[in-house]
Structures are given as C-alpha cells and as structure tokens.
Amino acid sequence: MALVKIAPLAPLVVRDGRPFSPGAGNRARSLDWPYPSVTAGAVRTVLAKCACRPDPPPFGDPSFLERLKEVEVGGPFLLRCSEDGRRRVFFPAPRDAQVYGTENLFKLALLRPRPPRPGCGCDLPLEGLWPIAGVVEAKPPPKVPTWWSQEKVGEWLEEDGPSGFRVGKDESHFCLSPERETRVHVSIDRTLGTAREHHLFTTEGLVFPPGEAIVVRVETGDDSLREALDGLRELHPMGGERRLAEFSADGEDGLLRPPAGLPEAMDRAMGVRLVLATPAVFGRGWLPGWIDPGTLRGRPPGAGEELTLVLRGACLERWRPVSGWDLAKGRAKPVRRLVPAGGVYFFEVAGGRARVLAERLWLRSVCDDPQDRRDGFGLAMWGVWDVDNSSPSREEATGS
C-alpha cells in the first residue's frame, strides 16, 4: 500500500459529458473534481509504463489489462501541504450539514431522518424509510465550503452534531473546490502555419496552486507493478488535452486512517451514518445492492456476518452521469448514474457492533461491483447517529 500524490503542472481538464468536437461544441467544460475512474486510469497507466520500461506496455494483451484492473486505487482526495511540511487531507462536505446564513455569519442545520408523525405520510420510494427533517428554507452563503479537513470530518462523525461545531472561512479546515481557468485556443493551418478563421475553441481546467495536489491510495499484489510503485516519480498526462501531472509515491503513513476516537464511539452506537467520500455506483440507482428493498436490511461488503444494518433514511443530491473509454473493447462505456460524493445514508444497528465499520471499512468501497470498488467509487466514511433523538431539528450558530 502506498499513497500517490498527483500534482498537475497545468490546469487539469476533467470534462463533463457535454459534446466537444468540430460541429458539436467548441467549449470543453470541467467538472468540479475528477471522478475516481480518471485517477484510477491515470495511475494504472503510469505503473504500466514504469513496469515495462524500456519496452512499451502491451495494452493490447487482455491478460495484462486484467492485471492492471486488479490494482486498487482509492480516491481522489484533496491534499494540502503547508510550508512547514505538514500534510492535510480534505474530504467532500457531508450533505447532512446544511450551511446557510450570510457571508459573515454562517449557521448550521443538522439534517436527520425522523419517523413520520401519526396520521402523516410521504412518497419516499421504499416503505419504512423516514423523511429528512431539519431543512431550513434559507439561501446558502455565496461561498459555502465544499471540502472539510480530515480533522473536522472526524469531529463531525464521532458525535451526532457536536456542540459548538463551526463551519466558516478557516482555510486550514474548510475550503472551496479548485478554481477554474478558461483558455482560448486556435486551430492552425498546417500549410500556412497561421490560425484558421472561425476555428476558435475554449477549454476549462481546474487550477492547483503550489502546495495543493490530488492524493490516492494504491494497493497491488502484482510484483512488477509493486516494484514500479516503490519510489514512483513520473511525469504523465492526466485528463483532457494531455495536460501533464507529476506522480510521486511514498509509504502509507496514517494520513487516511480513521479518527482515533471513532472505533470507541461507534462501539456504543445504536445508529450509524455512511458518508460517501467518493461518488458511488449502485445497480439500483441510489440504493446499494447489499440492502434488501423489502426489509431495508443488509451488510456492507467486508463487514462480516455479525453486523446487520437497517436503512432509515438518506440525504443525497441528484445523480451525476459518468462514462469513459473502454480500452479493451475499443469503444465508449455506457453512461451510468452516480450518487454524488458527500451523500449520507442513515442506518439503525439491528445486530452486532458497529465498531467493525470504523476498524475495517474506513474509506473502503460499498459499491456492488468489485471492479467499481477497485476503481475507487463509493469509498465510505462512517460515523455515529443518535436514533433516539426525535427532535425535529437542531441548529448551531457559527461565526465565519
């Protein structure tokens, strides 16, 4: 296991699904953050290139492609390195925290599932789900932090609404997604060496200032690929327009380990929260395949037989599309629907102890398909949830 830091040397182009080709569209728009499949493909290609040097990688060999697909890549996450050498990982903001108020005074509302009152009902897709309560009808501030530091995420998950929790403009613990830069390009006439008329196009990319990068966790049991991973330091294209990035690896030093107090807190919990650190892919759309739609019971992959969870509610955004290019089949992959990162699922513990979730499944995938798990989709962060608290909502005023 190793951590791989990806430091883009130019604005990183991670296109959304809108057309970008002659006659179809002259603007390449960027996502707010790369999908796991983007970083997984880039890391595997870098490892293949280093492992096969000086010969080119045999990408036409199906067995070699299967070896590459076995490499497990967890991420991507935002990494910030301070001038004193300290590194801090940031995760997507959990969706069960609604930030509202003004630019100078942020307030925080806790979004939690509550059982319907007697005589009331709702049109949720499955019987037995509880509606989310605590939503405040107010506009969010102009710039709501979209990334929380690992320390703040741990504080949020170790307690169900920690007293005095603050969300503000402290850039050491809260930050926005990378800024976007738009560049205008021209098409060159090869005969004349001049710009062709009416052939302008623009690209939009994510800007990573000095000290900011992408970090992923890489695990492989392949000897040759593991040797390439040790001491990795390579320049390689990533994203659209073949923009270069520096890939460097070091040993796993606990940067992505669960908060120290989380296992003990979850050992006593009767309810747990699942927060998606990366977008997830499920066969049933928003509903994980390991949950029975009739009883809402299930066990996350790798949790063992002793733990049983019952789904009570979910706080999610609208689905996002993802596709890509299938190198083995030489064609585009079908479009699939993603549950966006930051989505929260609420479970009641029906059997066993939830401690295993913090010890075994922290930042492990909960997707249905094994390949999606190896690609880094659906990495989960776990926390406590006070099932017995039936108050409709709670608020914490915070100063920015």
- Per DSSP, the residues of 198-231 read EEEEEEEEE---TTEEEEEEEE---HHHHHHHTT
Q: Is the pLDDT of residue 254 over 80?
A: no
pLDDT tens for 288-335 read 999 999 999 999 999 988 899 999 999 999 999 998 878 778 888 899
pLDDT tens for 23-70 read 667 788 889 999 999 999 999 999 999 999 999 999 888 899 999 999
pLDDT tens for 347-375 read 999 999 899 999 999 999 999 999 999 99
Enter the pTM of the model.
0.92
Asked if residue 242 belongs to a domain, the reply is yes
Asked if residue 126 belongs to a domain, the reply is no
CA distance 146 to 278: 13
pLDDT tens for 85-136 read 789 999 999 999 999 888 777 888 999 999 988 888 788 999 999 999 988 8
Asked if residue 123 belongs to a domain, the reply is no
In terms of domains, do 47 and 195 share one? yes
- State residue 319's pLDDT score: 95
Range of the domain at 377: 262-384
In degrees to the nearest 10, what's the CA dihedral of 273, 275, 276, 277? -140
Bridge partners of residue 149, in order along the sequence = 90
**Helix, strand, coil share (%) of the chain residues, nearest 5:** 15, 40, 50
In terms of domains, do 315 and 358 share one? yes
In terms of domains, do 303 and 215 share one? no
pLDDT tens for 160-186 read 988 888 887 777 899 999 999 998 888
The structure tokens listed for 368 are 């249905």
Q: Which residue has the tokens 């710009």?
A: 195
Last residue of a domain, which of 251, 270, 302? 251
Last residue of a domain, which of 251, 275, 305? 251
CA distance 234 to 184: 28
- CATH number for the domain including 296? 2.60.40.4350
CA distance 100 to 167: 10
Asked if residue 124 belongs to a domain, the reply is no
State whether residue 355 is helix, strand or coil. helix
In terms of domains, do 270 and 234 share one? no
CB 400 within 8 A of CB 103: yes
Last residue of a domain, which of 190, 220, 251? 251
In terms of domains, do 193 and 294 share one? no
Give the pairing type, strands 2-8 and 212-219. Answer: antiparallel
The total number of structural domains in the chain stands at: 2
- Kindly give the residue spans of alpha helices, DSSP state H, lying in 2-54: 36-52
- Kindly give the residue spans of alpha helices, DSSP state H, lying in 96-249: 150-158, 223-229
In terms of domains, do 22 and 69 share one? yes
Residue among 343, 325, 344 nearest 335 (CA) = 325
Asked if residue 16 belongs to a domain, the reply is yes
In terms of domains, do 83 and 209 share one? yes
